[in-house]
Amino acid sequence: MNHISQVLWQFLIKWLTNFQLYPPEASKIAPQMDALYFFMVLVSLIGLTIVILLVVSFSILYSKKRHPVAVQIEGSTLLEATWTIIPLGLFLIMFVWGALIYFRVYTPPANAMNIYVVGKQWMWKAEHPGGQHEINALHIPVGRPVQLTLISQDVFHSFSIPAFRVKREAIPGRYTTVWFEATTPGTYHLFCTQYCGTNHSAMIGDIVVMTPEDFKRWLAESTSGMSLAQNGERLFASLSCNACHNGRADSRGPSLANVYGSKLTLTSGQTATADEAYLRESILNPSDHVTQGFAPIMPTYQGQISEDGVIALVEYIKNLDSNYRVDQTLNTTGLLPEGEGRAASAGTKPAGQTPAAKGTVKQ
């Protein structure tokens, strides 16, 4: 008995000292989200109190003992209107307020630094533009908007950082984005919140928020020697993308320099903005959107490049502001024979080419 009460006691102490009602507010959006949350809590409490107060006081006032004969009342249009309109009004406020926050969370600012995140059963892999990879962790600087571009290699996952109040589904076959700006250095939980199979509950990690200086140091220490764009460049050459996208006047494919962010007109007549998702789709499903003025000859690379590879390519194309680099690689690798352009060929190329051409295709 004594033993049990001690355990209980400790338990209580532990509870009281660690008691929290909501997680730390470590991002810019968190206080805004919490404001709405507490508004809703408040409204709910008031609503609930009204209901409980009415029920309890009517129960006391009109219990059979005190009020033996019921008075029949048909209803009241005025009251009906009241309790239709007031909750409706409150709910509508919540709807508008909520939608504002929703759009804020899912509309990254233009100056955000972009980090790619690939989810797979059962880990998170983050890829920084500088080529730093991390598994089940994400290091970010404080005070800088960070955009995540998420994708899954297999099933739905969901990237959740409760302390930032953000969460976004990683979908197979499609990029999604979310952004945040961390405000307080520290380590926070990263969860996969979408049920994704056996080890769903182990698909967790740490979000490490650092001061800008620390972050710089971390970036320098964890570099793999090759940035994402450089990786992409190697792939670009080894997949012989540059056979068509060489930026020359007679090239078969459109020049990719500065294509990122531009508005393209498709043969279907629609226009499209070339964002990450568009670039990815162009590589994997080129037939879905053919740029005006070009023949639909680009082969699909579906099944030949891993998501990480696509990310590297996208990052490379994003940063391509002139065709100088493409030209450089072209000069070193030489034009590939007609019909080439398969990933498979990359591995079977004869030795003696520049190291830049020896990109590993599947990571």
Name the one residue in this structure whose structure tokens are 């589904």: 169
194 binds ligand CUA (CB under 6 A): yes
**231 to 250, contacts with ligand HEC by CB under 6 A?**
236, 239-241, 243-245
Closest among 151, 126, 181, 166 to 279, alpha carbons compared? 151
Cβ neighbours of residue 14 under 8 Å, at least 6 residues apart? none
Cα-trace Rg, the chain: 28
Among the candidate windows 130-138, 231-239, 296-304, 348-356, which touches other proteins by CB under 8 A? Answer: 296-304
101 binds ligand HEA (CB under 6 A): no
CA distance 175 to 227: 21
Q: How many residues bind ligand HEA (CB under 6 A)?
A: 6
| Nearest residue (CB) to ligand CUA, 170 versus 241 | 170
Residue 119 CB, nearest distance to ligand HEC (Å)? 23
Strands, sheet with 157-161, edge to edge from the N-terminal-most edge strand: 137-141, 205-210, 186-192, 157-161, 166-170
Residue 343 CB, nearest distance to ligand HEC (Å)? 8
160 binds ligand CUA (CB under 6 A): no
Do the beta carbons of residue 159 and residue 148 sit within 8 Å?
Answer: yes
171 binds ligand HEC (CB under 6 A): no
312 binds ligand HEC (CB under 6 A): no
With both helix axes pointing from N to C terminus, report the angle between 29-61 and 77-106 in degrees, rounded to the nearest 10: 160
Could you say which of ligand HEA, ligand HEC, ligand CUA, none residue 286 binds, taking C-beta under 5 to 8 angstroms by partner kind? ligand HEC
DSSP string across 83-130: HHHHHHHHHHHHHHHHHHHHHHHHS--TTPEEEEEEEETTEEEEE-TT
97 binds other proteins (CB under 8 A): yes
| Nearest residue (CB) to other proteins, 61 versus 249 | 61
Task: Provide the mask over 246-265, with x wherever binding to other proteins is found by CB under 8 A and - wherever it is not.
Answer: --------------------
Q: Side chain identity at 119, as an amino acid letter?
A: G
Could you say which of ligand CUA, ligand HEA, ligand HEC, none residue 87 binds, taking C-beta under 5 to 8 angstroms by partner kind? ligand HEA
45 binds ligand HEA (CB under 6 A): no
Burial classification of residue 357, based on how many CB atoms lie within 10 Å of its CB (0-12 exposed, 13-18 middle, 19 or more buried): middle
257 binds ligand HEC (CB under 6 A): no
With both helix axes pointing from N to C terminus, report the angle between 324-333 and 228-238 in degrees, rounded to the nearest 10: 50
Residues of the shown chain interacting with ligand CUA in the complex, contacts defined by CB under 6 A: 119, 122, 157, 192, 194-196, 200, 203
What is the contact surface with ligand HEA in residues (CB under 6 A)? 43, 47, 51, 86-87, 90
